[in-house]
Amino acid sequence: MELLLQLCLSFIQVGMFSVGGGYAAIPLIQDQIVNRHGLMTMAEFSDLITVAEMTPGPISINSSTFVGMRLAGVGGVLLCTFGCILPSFIICFILAHFYYKYRTVGGVQVVLGALRPAVVAMIGSAGLSILLLGLFQSDLFHVSLANLRVVELGIFIASLYILRKFKVSAVLVILGSGVVGTICYLLPGLVNMA
């Protein structure tokens, strides 16, 4: 019981102080779970990061689930995740309330207007890093044409064409690219085996 309470409190802190989302949460989780309370070893933690990168969902939810499951089963999962989202739930609920109350006010519109181009730029920037990771398996500073992966390039162009041309749902395109791409990579192997 004491362990559960400690877990919940730890993840409340992770949820409260991980501003900027995603990777900003990793050092916080490490500090709470590995360094301070010794609930996981560093090796387990790096496994967790690997798994979290391979699976959908925010990294703090992934880790709260992982830690909760390993230490206290399903009850642990529920409690850790609850702790993790509680602060942001309260804060965002209040922010949403004020946003919808005042967003039509002229002055607020001017200020929000200045934020929008930056948000577009940041989405673009996140997209570019995923694109480079997909096509070259590297970041912006280590791109070399020799590492271009042709299958991924083909999938990117085809997906973008389908998205622009037809009204296909994004989820379908992502899952489809996974299936088609895997088949493309496995086909030569299957031919060799035969």
27-86 residues in contact with another protein (CB under 8 A) are: 47, 50-52, 54-62, 65-66, 69-70, 74, 77, 81, 84-85
Considering only residues 165-184, where is the footprint of another protein by CB under 8 A? 167, 169-171, 173-182, 184
Minimum separation from the CB atom of position 29 to another protein (A): 12
Q: Is residue 127 involved in binding another protein (CB under 8 A)?
A: yes
Q: Is residue 134 involved in binding another protein (CB under 8 A)?
A: yes
Q: Is residue 148 involved in binding another protein (CB under 8 A)?
A: no
C-alpha 123/C-alpha 107 separation (Å) is 25
C-alpha 9/C-alpha 86 separation (Å) is 11
Give residue 116's identity as a one-letter amino acid code: R
How many residues interact with another protein (rule CB under 8 A)?
Answer: 101
Minimum separation from the CB atom of position 36 to another protein (A): 19
C-alpha 122/C-alpha 147 separation (Å) is 26
CA 115 to chain centre: 22
Minimum separation from the CB atom of position 129 to another protein (A): 8
| Cβ atoms of 75 and 98 closer than 8 Å | no
85: number of Cβ within 10 Å? 18
C-alpha 180/C-alpha 51 separation (Å) is 23
Q: Is residue 187 involved in binding another protein (CB under 8 A)?
A: no
Q: Is residue 160 involved in binding another protein (CB under 8 A)?
A: yes
